[in-house]
Amino acid sequence: MGRIRQIVAMGGGGFSMEPDNPLLDDYLLGLSEKARPRVCFLPTASGDDPTYIVNFYAAFAGRADASHLPLFVRRGEDVGAFLLGQDVIYVGGGNTENMLAIWRTQGVDRALRAAWESGVVLAGLSAGSLCWFESGTTDSFGTALERLSGGLGFLPGSHCPHYDGDATRRTAYHQHVADGLPGGYAADDSAALHFVGTELREVVSSRSGAYAYRVELVDGAVVETRLPTRYLGASADPSARD
């Protein structure tokens, strides 16, 4: 695999939210350009939830060399070398703030940057989507959507996953941007933002009607722009966009 830096930020979807719809996960595997890629799951945001880990292996073990990196009970591996040896790193959902704190304590943040710069595809949903940006909206502190204190910053600006997940997401993100949160990208459940370097390459979805959006402050007003989205299940024209 080349040294192209790639991140796929999914608002929601994948094996944990759409177990019978593999379109987004297939898209991730395809970016590796390997017949049987090495895929590592980081379940930190869920507290290394055992069921989540089992479901990951059930989804990927038959078509990838699947592994996971536990951080609550360490196995003693060299985190940097382990992550550099992957083709895809898949970050699960859960509590974003707790995940980032643990990563920084364990040096995973530095290892992820090194992996990204070496060409390993970084991906994830929910917390695993939000973490790559400078900031965004999070429910890490309770039910209200608060401002994320500080993401990894691999991607500039802010992010709001699960944009169509409940009625409060759009309103809260717009309010935070109006109050000074850097503009950025929102993604519905089943929609994913594919970045090459720090530039958005395309938006894809596993469900017709799922989209991503650019949200920014323009002349004092919050402006939301729906982005062209390629539905991965389209059969007639795979390049068709909504």
Per-residue pLDDT for 49 more than 80?
yes
Supply the pLDDT for residue 223.
98
Contacts of 233 (CB under 8 A, 6+ apart): 23, 206, 207, 208
Nearest Cα to 19, choosing from 55, 71, 72?
Answer: 55
Choose, from 162, 174, 176, 194, the residue flagged as catalytic. Answer: 162
The percent of residues above 70 in pLDDT, for the chain, comes to: 95
pLDDT in tens, 193-221: 999 999 999 999 999 999 999 999 999 99
The verdict on whether 162 is a catalytic residue reads yes
Supply the pLDDT for residue 225.
98
Choose, from 16, 32, 46, 126, the residue flagged as catalytic. Answer: 126
Domain locations along the chain: 6-231
Supply the pLDDT for residue 205.
98
Residue 155 to residues 15, 32, 130, Cα–Cα distance (Å): 24, 20, 10
| 235 pLDDT tier (thresholds 50, 70, 90) | low
Q: What is the CATH number assigned to the segment(s) 6-231?
A: 3.40.50.880
Supply the pLDDT for residue 48.
97
The residue type of 35 is A
pLDDT in tens, 170-195: 999 999 999 999 999 999 999 999 99
